[in-house]
Structures are given as C-alpha cells and as structure tokens.
Amino acid sequence: MYRGIGGSTDSDPQNYTLASYTESIVDFLGVVSPHVKPDILGWSLGGFVGLAIGVYYSDAVNRIVLADTAPGGYGLATDSEQNEVSSMLATGSAGESSVEIAYPDTPAGEAGLCRFLTYIQVMPKDPTTPEQLMRQAAVDFDYDGEAGQEVTMGMQNITNPVLIIAGQQDSLLPISYDIEILDAIPGASLVEFADAGHSAILQNALASAAEINAFLSLVD
C-alpha cells in the first residue's frame, strides 16, 4: 500500500514523505471500503501514519489502533545516525539489530522471538529490497522533523476512538511516547505489556487480539 514498497513501481524520491504515505493509505481505504468507514491499525511507522490520518483525515476512518509508536517532530535521528541507518539498509546489515530491538532479552522475549522465527520460515520470502527499506526510512526521518511536529500538535484534535498498545521494554520507541499520545488524544486508552519490546503486539498476539476485538466492539 505504501508507495515504493512491495510491488509498487513508484521510484520518485519526492513521494517518500509522511504526507504521501498518509495519502496512499487514505486512497487505498477509499477503494477497498468506499461505503463504510474502516477501522485501522498501525504499528511503528504505521502508527505515525495512523496518527496523521487521525489528524488530517479523521472522517475517512472509524476507530484507530496504534501499536508501539510515537509522536513526531522530536528529531530523534541526527544526520550521522540517518546516514548510518541508510548505510545499514543499503548493505542489508540491519537485520540482527532490528530483532534485538523488537524482542527483549528475557525468557518471554526469547519465546516470542522463537515463535516469530518459526512463523517466517513457513511464509513466502519477503520481497522487500534494501532500496525499498531506505525509502521507508526517509519517511521515518520526515516524521522526525516538521511534518511530525504538525501531527503532534494536532493530536489533541483527534476525535476518533483510539486504542494504544505498547511494550514497556521498547528500546526503540519507549513507552513514554505512547503515554504522551494517550495524554494528548481525548478518550484514548492504553494497554501495556510489561515484558515486551517493539513487537509487543506480535509477542502477545492473542492478548492483543482480545484487547483489539473488545475495543472494536464498543458502541459509540
């Protein structure tokens, strides 16, 4: 669904922005669900886009679930860090570090990682290329700047029901960011998993699904 990712042939670097990713998802939702407002779930960068949809396109969706995400505009990555990330993605050397971030070094984290590795062994090979990952990183960096600042300032105006799911051991996007979102969005709720990292929603899939189903079944 994102431009320049998966089977997309869009190679224009100007399209690798928070705005273009957000517009892509809204356009897609309008095609697949033209008569009913869909519920959406965004994890990590998907949460950035989910927040942007809530700020700019709230009428396009119903309920919003955000998982292991953060407000924008904090300049979290310096220029040197951005160059390092781009280099790692370009050479395909980011895999091990990303796994360490996603699952904490605890018995529960290791069990979650084992389940994930078993799962991907039976799934089709991921066709995403290092070049495509660099395009996605460009959107992350855009969210770090002015585009993300505008989303953060607009969170207080989100009127959609919002559920946030987060891992207390997330070292990439600490749970303090999720709490900031919780405090900013009127009526939002937060579910925390104590022994989970950046993949809390995957590590605790059944519990997360139960929380999400309960949230989606609420009557407005």
List the CATH number of the domain containing 21.
Answer: 3.40.50.1820
For residue 193, what are the β-bridge partners? 167
pLDDT in tens, 47-87: 999 999 999 999 999 999 999 999 999 876 555 555 555 55
pLDDT beyond 70 at 95:
no
Q: Is residue 1 part of a domain?
A: no
Q: Is residue 2 part of a domain?
A: no
Nearest to 153, CA basis, from 75, 73, 77: 73
Rounded CA separation 121/20 (Å): 33
Q: Is residue 220 part of a domain?
A: no
Rounded CA separation 48/72 (Å): 7
Domain containing residue 164:
13-215
Q: Is residue 90 part of a domain?
A: yes
Query: What per-residue confidence (pLDDT) applies to 90?
Result: 52
Query: What per-residue confidence (pLDDT) applies to 104?
Result: 84
pLDDT in tens, 105-153: 888 888 888 887 787 777 777 666 777 777 788 888 899 999 999 999 9
Q: How many domains does the chain have?
A: 1
The torsion region of residue 73 among left (phi > 0), alpha (psi -120 to 50) and beta comes to left
Q: Hey, CA dihedral for 187, 43, 17, 172, is it positive or negative?
A: positive
Q: Is residue 32 part of a domain?
A: yes
